[in-house]
A and B are shown apart, each in its own frame.
Chain A
Amino acid sequence: MKKLTAVFLALMLILAGVSAMAETIVVMPKLVGIPYFNASETGAIEAGKELGIEVIYTGPTTGDAAQQVTMIEDLLIKGIDALAIAPNDPDAVSPALQKAIADNVLVVDWDTPASGDDVKYSIHQIDDKKFGELIWDKLVEAMGTDEGEYAIVTGYLTAANLNTWIKYGTEYAAAKYPNLKLVTDPVASDESAQEAYTQTLALLGAYPNLKGIVGISTPAPIGAAMAVQEKGLQDKVAVVGSSLPKDSSPYLKDGSLDFGILWDPGKLGKLTVYIAHYELNGTPITDGMEIPGVGPITLWEDGKTIIMGDPSVWTAENADQFDF
């Protein structure tokens, strides 16, 4: 028992020692432990190594805004130089981010925007409007027709970014594809493929004429594809959505998933660390600037919004080329 305690203590001291480096950037995802945010962790840590700075990638184990607030407050006591946050809720973290600013911590957001007043930069993976529109274009392409019934399976009904894409997508569809009929309000799948599978089975049962399913949030299209695969409806029901290529690959190959549309979350993690580092060290951030391993970025005229690039589309042919 004593030995164990000693080993534990030694381990902790090593961990504590690591945190004594010069520049500390915290990258906080909405939650840790899902493939999407694991991929951005790899990118963020890689950037930290390239730049020789300490990057702490930490977040709550569930998508709970209250947990994020607690973690921010605690990290401020630890003492950090920059905080990059993907807020579960922009309003909830706002008071905590204001505390960080009062502490002279650089605050930026990534993946999901925080309130504008709280951040120096807002790092977006894609242009939300373009992304929503592309998903609905791909839906029509996969259905092979622009009329018929479709349903939306989303992550959480409370997630701002998911709701934004749904809003842009449905508005676009209403104008461009007026014969496309959304059968019911978006169904929540709690960021779980299992839940998306269950919900999709229910949808397929309730709406036998369903021709398409849009999965928003990375596990949703996978779960929807699982249900379509089980029912053998690959040719009748089209599934598209924002999924990771590695997860999508088996379903793309058998046709249960038609298109996966996303970006590289690893690059996003990397970009986030680079932007925070540049800002801390006074390197000016400009439109068209080349970020190592990421490519040229777009800086909007507001001087705040950074766009990483265009979305990528995964198909049966290209999905295996990616390792996330």
Chain B
Amino acid sequence: MEKVNNNPPTIGDRVIQGIRKDPRMVFLALVLIGLIVLMSILAPGRFLTVRNFKNMGFQMAEFGILAIGMSVVIMTGGINLSLVSSSMLGAIVGAYLMRALNQAGTMSDWSIILIGIASILTVSVLCGLVNGFFVAYVGVVPMLVTLGTQTVFNGISLNITRGSGISGFPKVFQKIGSGTLFDIPYTLLIYIVVILIAWYLVQKTPWGVHVYMVGGNEKATRYSGVNTKKVLTLVYVFSAVMAGIAGILMISRYNSAKADYGSSYTMMAIAATVLGGTDINGGSGKVWGTVMAVLILQVLSSGFNIIGINRNITDIVTGLILIAVLSINHFTSKEKIRKSK
């Protein structure tokens, strides 16, 4: 018999409870802390500096937001290979408008930027609707749909730009990607707001519950009276909006838009999602896990760059960590199943 504890839980109890509930997050946190310590030792006086953390804050947001967009799709058992190409399609349309309006010179900078941002998000929503329509209503496998739309979006971008970059935005637009508030990068602040919204939507709303249910068993979810088509469509729209926000940050940081910006982010976003504990088959996963994974990848990337290690080694180490975490997850979840039997 267990003793009934009538005292209110202390902070220590809560932490222990948290660890029991989510050992993966603790493991990720340990990996993160370990990496920070390691990098601080290997790059003394350079890694553990305000400047570097500010730098990482600037860099992390665009990739982190994309990774959240990927995670929510993977939670439904799907995948979004068109993530970055939809991001850039929106960004290019927005960039095109902003440049044209800026050259015309009749509008104030702020209204040009507002129009730019609104058009980027509109294009993103459209891209998401296209993906959602084919996945949810036509019933094509998400990998095929998004592989196709990736090529389509990229093709449209290339057609608009003829392969070159678009620049010439109002000067203030750069501030989004390079400005700070009390020394905290705007991009990091935007990232934090996005994380909170995503966390709320996925973990606290009925839609979020349905996302997991669809990922677990779509048929059963449909027969239990949930409009799974609507849920899925919204998932792809959500993913595309994340891509749009990331696109805004990217073109502000690079002060230009081009069809192939961020092309390496698609696979990295999948890696971050899986590293963060989301099951690639859908049905489980947490926004915080992905956020943690993005932090780990950022520390690894920045740390190795500062030390001056070849990028190929960074890729190899990223891959090894991914495999290690997946193996550990695999065995711990097997244990759980055995225990519950």
Chain A interface residues (CB < 8 Å from chain B): 12-13, 15-16, 18-19, 32-33, 56, 58-67, 69-71, 73-75, 77-79, 89-95, 156-160, 163
- A185 closest partner in B (C-beta): B162
Could you say which residues of chain B place their CB within 8 Å of the CB of A15? 307-309
Question: Provided the pairs A60-B311, A78-B308 are in contact, do residues A91 and B167 lie with their beta carbons within 8 angstroms?
Answer: yes
**Interface contact B260-A95, CB-CB below 8 Å:** no
**Interface contact A70-B301, CB-CB below 8 Å:** yes
Given contacts A71-B311, A89-B254, 13 further A-B contacts (CB under 8 A): A16-B307, A56-B308, A58-B310, A62-B263, A64-B261, A64-B262, A66-B62, A69-B253, A78-B308, A92-B256, A156-B260, A158-B259, A160-B164
Could you say which residues of chain B place their CB within 8 Å of the CB of A74? 55, 301-302, 305-306
**Interface contact A95-B255, CB-CB below 8 Å:** yes
Question: Provided the pairs A74-B301, A78-B306 are in contact, do residues A67 and B264 lie with their beta carbons within 8 angstroms?
Answer: yes
**Interface contact B46-A77, CB-CB below 8 Å:** yes
Most buried by B among A90, A157, A163: A157
Question: Provided the pairs A19-B307, A70-B305, A73-B55 are in contact, do residues A78 and B163 lie with their beta carbons within 8 angstroms?
Answer: no
- What is the predominant secondary structure among interface residues of chain A facing chain B? helix
Does B207 sit within 8 A of A, measured CB to CB? no
Most buried by A among B163, B177, B255: B163
**Interface contact B260-A64, CB-CB below 8 Å:** yes
In the complex, which of the residues A19, A58, A63, A77 contacts B311, with contact meaning CB atoms closer than 8 Å? Answer: A58
Could you say which residues of chain B place their CB within 8 Å of the CB of A95? 174, 177-178, 253-255
**Interface contact B307-A12, CB-CB below 8 Å:** yes
- B252 closest partner in A (C-beta): A95
**Interface contact A158-B258, CB-CB below 8 Å:** yes
The 5 A-B residue pairs with the shortest CB-CB distance, nearest first, are A74-B305, A91-B256, A157-B163, A92-B254, A91-B165
**Interface contact A65-B258, CB-CB below 8 Å:** yes
Could you say which residues of chain B place their CB within 8 Å of the CB of A77? 46-47, 49, 51-52, 55, 302, 306
**Interface contact B178-A78, CB-CB below 8 Å:** no
Alpha-carbon gap, A9 to B335, bound state (A): 32
Could you say which residues of chain A place their CB within 8 Å of the CB of B49? 77
- B178 closest partner in A (C-beta): A95
Could you say which residues of chain A place their CB within 8 Å of the CB of B161? 158
Q: Which of B248-307 contact A (CB under 8 A)?
A: 250, 253-256, 258-265, 301-302, 305-307
**Interface contact B254-A16, CB-CB below 8 Å:** no
Question: Provided the pairs A62-B263, A65-B260 are in contact, do residues A91 and B308 lie with their beta carbons within 8 angstroms?
Answer: no
- A66 closest partner in B (C-beta): B262
Could you say which residues of chain A place their CB within 8 Å of the CB of B261? 64-66, 89, 92
Alpha-carbon gap, A90 to B253, bound state (A): 13
Alpha-carbon gap, A160 to B309, bound state (A): 28
- B44 closest partner in A (C-beta): A16
In the complex, which of the residues B253, B302, B312 contacts A61, with contact meaning CB atoms closer than 8 Å? Answer: B312
Alpha-carbon gap, A232 to B181, bound state (A): 65
A133 → B minimal CB distance (Å): 22
Does B59 sit within 8 A of A, measured CB to CB? yes
Could you say which residues of chain B place their CB within 8 Å of the CB of A69? 253-254
A323 → B minimal CB distance (Å): 22
Number of interface residues of B (CB under 8 A): 46
- A13 closest partner in B (C-beta): B42
**Interface contact A16-B43, CB-CB below 8 Å:** yes
Could you say which residues of chain A place their CB within 8 Å of the CB of B189? none
| A/B interface sample: 12 pairs, CB < 8 A | A16-B43, A32-B310, A64-B260, A74-B55, A74-B301, A91-B167, A91-B254, A92-B165, A94-B254, A157-B162, A158-B158, A158-B260
**Interface contact B305-A71, CB-CB below 8 Å:** yes
- B257 closest partner in A (C-beta): A91
Could you say which residues of chain A place their CB within 8 Å of the CB of B165? 89-92, 158
**Interface contact A32-B312, CB-CB below 8 Å:** yes
Could you say which residues of chain A place their CB within 8 Å of the CB of B59? 70, 73
Could you say which residues of chain B place their CB within 8 Å of the CB of A56? 308
Question: Provided the pairs A32-B312, A65-B261 are in contact, do residues A78 and B254 lie with their beta carbons within 8 angstroms?
Answer: no
Could you say which residues of chain A place their CB within 8 Å of the CB of B55? 73-74, 77
Alpha-carbon gap, A66 to B311, bound state (A): 14
**Interface contact A73-B58, CB-CB below 8 Å:** yes
- B162 closest partner in A (C-beta): A157
Alpha-carbon gap, A94 to B169, bound state (A): 14
- B174 closest partner in A (C-beta): A95
B152 → A minimal CB distance (Å): 15
**Interface contact A89-B258, CB-CB below 8 Å:** yes
**Interface contact B52-A66, CB-CB below 8 Å:** no
Alpha-carbon gap, A62 to B262, bound state (A): 10
A68 → B minimal CB distance (Å): 10
Question: Provided the pairs A12-B307, A16-B307 are in contact, do residues A66 and B163 lie with their beta carbons within 8 angstroms?
Answer: no
In the complex, which of the residues A70, A73, A163 contacts B164, with contact meaning CB atoms closer than 8 Å? Answer: A163
Alpha-carbon gap, A65 to B88, bound state (A): 13
Could you say which residues of chain A place their CB within 8 Å of the CB of B254? 65-66, 69, 89, 91-95
Q: Which of B198-215 contact A (CB under 8 A)?
A: none
A29 → B minimal CB distance (Å): 10
Could you say which residues of chain A place their CB within 8 Å of the CB of B305? 58, 70-71, 74-75, 78
Could you say which residues of chain A place their CB within 8 Å of the CB of B259? 157-158
**Interface contact A16-B262, CB-CB below 8 Å:** no
Could you say which residues of chain B place their CB within 8 Å of the CB of A59? 311
Alpha-carbon gap, A167 to B338, bound state (A): 66
**Interface contact A66-B265, CB-CB below 8 Å:** yes
**Interface contact B255-A91, CB-CB below 8 Å:** yes
Alpha-carbon gap, A157 to B159, bound state (A): 10
- A74 closest partner in B (C-beta): B305
B258 → A minimal CB distance (Å): 6
Could you say which residues of chain B place their CB within 8 Å of the CB of A78? 43, 46, 305-308
Alpha-carbon gap, A94 to B264, bound state (A): 20
Alpha-carbon gap, A90 to B254, bound state (A): 10
A262 → B minimal CB distance (Å): 22
Could you say which residues of chain B place their CB within 8 Å of the CB of A156? 163, 260
A302 → B minimal CB distance (Å): 22
Could you say which residues of chain B place their CB within 8 Å of the CB of A93? 254
